[in-house]
Amino acid sequence: MNKDILFVTGTRADYGKLEPLAKSLYEGGFNISFFITGMHMMSKYGKTTIEVQKFKGAKFFEFVNQRENDSLEVILSKTILGFSDFVYENKPDLVVIHGDRVEALAASLVCAMRYIRTAHIEGGEMSGTIDESFRHCNTKLCISHFVSSEIAEKRVLSLGERGDSIFTIGSPELDIHNEESGLSIEDVKKRYSINFDEYGIVIFHPVTSELDTIGQQAYALFEALKDTKKKFIVISPNNDPGSEKIFSILEMLDAKFFKIIPTMRFKYFSELIKNSSIFIGNSSTGIREVPFLGIVSIDIGSRQFNRSPSANILNCSPFEKDLLVETINKKWGVKTKRCKHFGAGKSRENFLKVLKSKEFWEIPLQKVFHDSNIS
């Protein structure tokens, strides 16, 4: 199909999910482009627009939508203006929007008002912050929905969406984890100057509804990790409000026990996870990818509350120091049964099949609330 597909990406995390889908469409004959904004454009987070622009065969459009410490509503308004100007000049046949970030919400709003066809990736999920509200807003604004699980499909239906507009394909990033990375762990350690033999991975993001305590949470978490006397690779947090409080804690960590990495190429990150002893934090990585790979994940705090039923995930407050230390020591290096709640690593072929169908392009652009649960 000779159609122009635009992917909107604002973070290293959403690009890890969008890249396999974009690759499948490119190989299937679609024209691919990326609207690159958000954290990708910020040097503090590794200027990851460079990584996006390694995608062969695509067109790239960059937009700086924020300064450091801008509030979410300011970022939203700037992104709406920039994306509106972009689609005025460029006419994509489909805009692919992922998840729950503020850049995604901006794109959904613009496309809805301009009646541009949209596909929302990973709607219908729960979490413990403003992200969940953004995600459900995107569901109501977007035309079609590519969800990761049957539970998510039911939630999207409950929001009044057409049954024939919802497609359960799994989580796209699992496709990459389901493959050989083509790297060895020695390659990863060399590239990122990692000197640890055994290590856990830590990703702790700010929680926008808990800004008054996020610094205390980060301090408590890393004090507990220090007490284990184990080695940890820490991936820097995202740029949500409160991130500066977490960075202030990271700056004080002992390099003998903690290796801080701003960002990683996805295949390197995949190999790093596969060889880790445990995962700790409040990133969706610990909810989807880590359990899929059969590694224990300790979910910290409320950010990912109720997002997955996996038995591989253990929840702990950052202030439960003794319990946290005991759990890390007990579960360190333990391998578990792989969890396939979010799919089996076949998302991209499912996605391509849907977009190749005539029926997909006939879903009406005028939305109507469907009372699927009312007789």
pLDDT of residue 330: 97
User: Diameter of the chain by CA atoms?
Assistant: 63
CA distances to 114, 128, 224, 231, 249 from 283, in Å: 33, 12, 18, 19, 18
Q: Are 266 and 189 in contact (CB under 8 A)?
A: no
Could you check whether 4-177+344-362 and 185-331 share the same CATH topology?
yes
- Count the Cβ atoms, other than its own, within 10 Å of residue 130: 16
Name the residue ranges covered by the structural domains of the chain: 4-177+344-362, 185-331
Q: Which of 238, 281, 289 is nearest to 263 (CA)?
A: 238
Cα 103 to Cα 170: distance, rounded to the nearest angstrom? 22
Return the residue matching tokens 């060895």: 184
Quick one: pLDDT at residue 372?
67
**Conformational region of residue 343, where left means phi above 0, alpha means psi within -120 to 50, and beta covers everything else:** left
pLDDT of residue 58: 98
Q: Looking at the domain 185-331, which fold is it?
A: Rossmann fold (3.40.50)
**For residue 290, what are the β-bridge partners?**
none
Query: What class has domain 4-177+344-362?
Result: alpha beta
CB 277 within 8 A of CB 298: no
Q: For the chain, list residues with pLDDT below 50.
A: 375
Give the model's pLDDT for residue 375. 46
Give residue 304's pLDDT.
Answer: 85
Helix (H) or strand (E) holding 268: helix 266-274
* Residue 263 φ/ψ region, left for φ over 0, alpha for ψ in the -120 to 50 degree band, beta for the rest: beta
Global pTM value: 0.89
User: Whose structure tokens read 């590794």?
Assistant: 46
123's CB contacts (< 8 A; 6+ apart) are: 99, 135, 136, 138, 139, 142, 145, 147, 152, 155, 156
pLDDT at 32: 98
CB 36 within 8 A of CB 107: no
Q: List Cα–Cα distances, 119 to 102, 198, 310, 360, in angstroms.
A: 16, 41, 27, 10
3-state DSSP: the chain helix, strand, coil percent, rounded to 5?
40, 15, 40
